[in-house]
Structure 1
Amino acid sequence: MPTPLSAAPFRHAHDREIFRLAVPTFFALVAEPLFLLTDSAVVGTLGTAALGGLGVAGQILTTLAAVCIFLAYGTTAAVARTYGAGDIAGGVRHGVDALWLAALIGGAAVLAGWPLAPWLVDTLGASPDVAPHALLYLRISLLSTPALLIVMAGTGVLRGLQDATTPLVVAVASYLGNAALCITMVLGLGMGIAGSAWATVIAQSAGALVYVVVAGRAARRHRISLAPSLAGLRSAASAGFALFLRTVSLRIVALVTTAVAARLGDDEIAAHQVAFQMWSLLVFAMDAIAIAGQSIIGRYLGAGDVPGTRAATRRMVEWGVLVGLAFTVLVFAALPWAPAPFTSDPRVAGLIMSVLVVVALMQPLSGVVMVLDGILMGAGDQRYLAWASLWTMLVFLPCALLVLWATPDGSNFGLVGLWLAFTVWIAARGVTLATRARGGAWLVVGATRP
């Protein structure tokens, strides 16, 4: 069990914990948007309409993955608590049930998503030129959904067991394979945007197979049955429901942002796709500290160490601010060259650069938001996170719609205004999360959270 230490040594001890989990998690997380940017660069060679189609379909697929993120985050928190309490076998049992739940949800998503695909693309406001590309990419990529969700659940199990290295190896191998397949299929074989989608299906399926093998070995080692448990499935689903509501609110914000950008014009949605992927790259990097926070906070609360929880929280917030400031400098330094890999259209390039100024300035605040979100998630405070996400979404929606209403045709400022509205949403999240973290209602100790 972790023991409280004096202030200065305690800080260094937490740095070691944070770095041990956050560094491999950072590289695992940063791999995804990096290779999504590779996909964007490859698909961008097919033209603005194809790149816009990738942006529209990508938002739908990202939303599907995001609303199921409880398979990773909820599993991490639950397994970390059992680990802190010394019940590793119980954590493996929870993980096996989470993998089964992931497979079931993924299969249902494919069956529902295929007939709904045209309506989803149209709902996001894709133009007649963009829509065919978006529909083709979406329908093929939907086939990878069960594998994607299995990867999420498997990642959550291992991180809860304080293993961030194995998810790093799987993520990097999957995304390297995806990038190589995308380049080969799109540019080498001339398969167009369909080649990029098939590359995703193959790479995700290979990653899922690895997690199934790893989970099977752990289950045999701890004498846990690989058969699904009805009670376990029910527990995993109910524990994730609040996280589902939280993530739905977050994804509505992302979807509305994409829908408004699409209605501003084809140049705007193409620029938004690139800027959003760059923002995701930075956020995912900061999310490494947040995910380390899930594992660390869950373990400390499972072991009953409230002082350790407070000290770890304080230190992780400090790291969030420092990393955010570093990313602000990085984005400004890269600004003159940022559009070059994605487009040769001068207007799209100008829009990308303008939006990236906003992205750069929001980074320190984003760092605090990401870290506090991970800390409260690791504590199992999902109900508060769900309500806070709902209210901050309601703050954002009128701001985004105001941008659409107030932007004249052909204006270069609509997309920047949309990202300023997005910054207002980030600030609102910061207020709600910081208010909760300063209190003590989230500090519930024990192997399970009532």
Structure 2
Amino acid sequence: MLRHHNALASPHPAIRPPTRIACSSICNRANSRATVSPSTNHGKLLLPRGWPSTRRRTTTVTSSQSLPGYTPDDADQCLKPSDNISFAAVKESVIGINSALNSVGVRSELILLALPAVFGQAIDPMAQLMETAYIGRLGALELASAGIGVSIFNIVSKIFNIPLLSIATSFVAEDIARSATKHPNSGKLELTSVSSALILAAGIGIIEALALFLGSGLFLKLMGVSPVSPMHKPAKLFLSLRALGAPANVIMLAVQGIFRGFKDTKTPVFYIGLGNLSAVALLPLLIYGFQLGITGAAISTVVSQYIITILLLWSLRKRAVLLPPRIDQLEFSGYLKSGGMLLGRTLSILLTMTIGTSMAARQGPTAMAAHQICLQVWLAVSLLADALAVSAQAMIASSYATLNYKRVQKIAIFALQIGVISGLALTIGLYASFGNIARLFTSDPEVLMVVRSCALFVCASQPINALAFIFDGLHYGASDFDYVAQATIVVGVISSLILLWAPSVFGLAGIWAGLTTLMGLRMVAGILRHMSPHQTSAALAQVVMPSVYAGSKDYPSVIETNPSLL
């Protein structure tokens, strides 16, 4: 038995190096070495210093197994420990993936997942557009007041909602790919990632509801709406009512993330659609029929949120155990660690958006009403591209968990191609119809005139938005949360400085120049991440090791891989 061995070379006669070395498709040119700790029965990969570490993936391999797509070749010569492994050498020997793993092509699977997700992503913004249209008929003051309330609600709720949604998708997809087990009696899947996400969502939702309800006056003051402003009283009432729906809203988003981890984008669309049908019926009834104004709009939204949440939990209960029998089976550490990284990213984006809304509010009700119309259209159209990113994230997370890097590469390339095409199509369609869309929200000629001054930014930014969202999805799929957080904080600081300066010179157009800068720099950050050189040792060693030790009794039992290869 070998007492000491190296992952890249061994004198053992039964050990042969691989002819085809797999590496992460996202990693670029770099030379590095993998270090393996000496051990009697196993080898363990040590992550290179400087690599971000988030949630470890562990793949157990026995001596009679080989990782999918990787086979040893007895004809090659062993690599020496002193050899430098260049990216060019690796590229020449990149392996193909077993066709059995690709019974459904990458393009077909991505499209089949993205199409329902497009509708799912569009339903909520469209519901907000409909709510804005109904409120806009009440007048500019009501529209501006509701716009302030919606902005504050989104800021507070999404601080934790967005990280939880993104992390749940990746963690559930990883757990299903690696270690899914079924309950002995019910046959439902037992996944700690599902139960942990639901409990965290419930706790976060209650905290958000209390913060929004009790601190509505303080939040309005921070947004630049003083108690003497005509917007203060209706905005405070609207925000207090919307706060009651915060628990349902957080749980609803967490369950959507769980379904995405299951690679199921159809079920959420169906139940979200049913829930929003209630809002369609309640909005005109409460706003105009009972003459409740924006109060009726807030009530209808809260009711629809609880309907959607109940339906989604009922559906999820059919396929997975919602709560474990013991509290010690929960896994909060991964969510908290990765969530802490994404919290900085979310705060940076929301702070930038808040500054934009605050600067618009300071310019008066007319400018604020125009900004609200442009913002709702911008978000509704831009988030359609996010559906593609969500689908790519789920596919990359499951493929990455099984070390299928060739498939990861195909997913990333195809998603980016579709993103460019869809972004250009949205630009053309939106530019041709923006005037008619704006008139759906208001007939006020002054508001429409201000809206037209910002139309170019809303339309031209669509390809940029599409690529920014897709790059985020690629990063999330590989759990590259650390880089996303750091890059977005820098981007947010730069964009916020523009937002603080530009409105005093260019008015509302200056605000939209700052928001376009935000999305443009996010896109650039994604491009730089994929162009920058990375160490390849982690990607190489995790594949070289099982090939080198194949057929040996010293075959490593555990391969620890770095989850941040994007």
What TM-score comes out, normalization by structure 2 length? 0.73
Cα distance change of structure 1 residues 292 and 148 upon mapping to structure 2, 3 Å threshold: same
| Paired residue type of 2:264 | D
Equivalent residue number for residue 168 of structure 2: 75
Alignment of 1:102-121 (within 5 A): 102-121=201-220
Equivalent residue number for residue 267 of structure 2: 166
Correspondent of 1:249 among 348, 359, 374: 348
Q: Percent identity?
A: 26
Alpha-carbon distance between aligned partners in 2 of 1:88 and 1:356, rounded to the nearest angstrom? 51
Does the Cα contact within 8 Å between 1:286 and 1:324 map onto a contact in 2?
yes
Does the Cα contact within 8 Å between 1:365 and 1:427 map onto a contact in 2?
yes
Equivalent residue number for residue 371 of structure 1: 470
Cα distance change of structure 1 residues 260 and 184 upon mapping to structure 2, 3 Å threshold: same
Equivalent residue number for residue 409 of structure 1: none
Alpha-carbon distance between aligned partners in 2 of 1:226 and 1:319, rounded to the nearest angstrom? 44
Correspondent of 2:457 among 352, 358, 361: 358
Correspondent of 1:42 among 90, 114, 134: 134
Does the Cα contact within 8 Å between 2:210 and 2:243 map onto a contact in 1?
no
Please tell me whether residue 30 in structure 1 is matched to residue 131 in structure 2: no
Correspondent of 1:313 among 408, 412, 418: 412
Equivalent residue number for residue 92 of structure 2: none
Structure 1, gaps ≥5 residues long? 407-412
TM-superposed deviation, 1:228: 4.8
Alpha-carbon distance between aligned partners in 2 of 1:191 and 1:94, rounded to the nearest angstrom? 42
Equivalent residue number for residue 498 of structure 2: 399
Alpha-carbon distance between aligned partners in 2 of 1:240 and 1:381, rounded to the nearest angstrom? 12
Does the Cα contact within 8 Å between 1:178 and 1:199 map onto a contact in 2?
yes
**Moved beyond 4 Å, runs of 4+:** 1-6, 88-91, 226-231, 439-450
Worse overlay, 81-90 or 108-117? 81-90
Match of 2:194, SS state, is: helix
Match of 1:350, SS state, is: helix
Please tell me whether residue 58 in structure 1 is matched to residue 157 in structure 2: no
Equivalent residue number for residue 528 of structure 2: 435
Q: Deviations over 1:19-75 (max 9, x none)?
A: 111111110110111110100011112111110011111111111232121221100
Alpha-carbon distance between aligned partners in 1 of 2:511 and 2:131, rounded to the nearest angstrom? 24
Cα distance change of structure 1 residues 91 and 427 upon mapping to structure 2, 3 Å threshold: farther
Alpha-carbon distance between aligned partners in 2 of 1:270 and 1:321, rounded to the nearest angstrom? 31
| Paired residue type of 1:141 | R
Alpha-carbon distance between aligned partners in 1 of 2:528 and 2:190, rounded to the nearest angstrom? 31
Cα distance change of structure 1 residues 46 and 382 upon mapping to structure 2, 3 Å threshold: same
Correspondent of 1:343 among 442, 447, 454: 442
| Paired residue type of 2:178 | A
Does the Cα contact within 8 Å between 1:49 and 1:130 map onto a contact in 2?
yes
Structure 2, gaps ≥5 residues long? 1-66, 70-95, 183-188, 543-559
Q: Deviations over 1:315-346 (max 9, x none)?
A: 10111111100000011110231221111111
| Paired residue type of 2:126 | L
Cα distance change of structure 1 residues 244 and 227 upon mapping to structure 2, 3 Å threshold: farther
Equivalent residue number for residue 83 of structure 2: none
Bigger helix share: 1
Worse overlay, 211-220 or 364-373? 211-220
| Paired residue type of 1:176 | L
Alpha-carbon distance between aligned partners in 1 of 2:492 and 2:328, rounded to the nearest angstrom? 36
Cα distance change of structure 1 residues 88 and 211 upon mapping to structure 2, 3 Å threshold: farther
Worse overlay, 14-23 or 144-153? 14-23
TM-superposed deviation, 1:162: 0.8
Alpha-carbon distance between aligned partners in 1 of 2:394 and 2:194, rounded to the nearest angstrom? 15
Worse overlay, 196-205 or 107-116? 107-116
Equivalent residue number for residue 432 of structure 2: 333
Correspondent of 2:388 among 272, 278, 289: 289
Please tell me whether residue 194 in structure 1 is matched to residue 194 in structure 2: no
Equivalent residue number for residue 177 of structure 2: 84
Please tell me whether residue 216 in structure 1 is matched to residue 331 in structure 2: no
Q: Deviations over 1:212-252 (max 9, x none)?
A: 223333334xx962665575234323332212221111111
Q: Deviations over 1:262-312 (max 9, x none)?
A: 112211110111110101111210000110111011011011011211121
> How many residues are treated as equivalent by the alignment?
439
Alpha-carbon distance between aligned partners in 2 of 1:447 and 1:85, rounded to the nearest angstrom? 13
Does the Cα contact within 8 Å between 1:150 and 1:211 map onto a contact in 2?
no
Alpha-carbon distance between aligned partners in 1 of 2:286 and 2:464, rounded to the nearest angstrom? 40
Question: Which protein has greater RCO, CA pairs closer than 8 Å, 6+ apart?
Answer: 2
Equivalent residue number for residue 113 of structure 2: 21
TM-superposed deviation, 1:87: 2.2
Bigger Cα Rg: 2
Please tell me whether residue 203 in structure 1 is matched to residue 304 in structure 2: yes
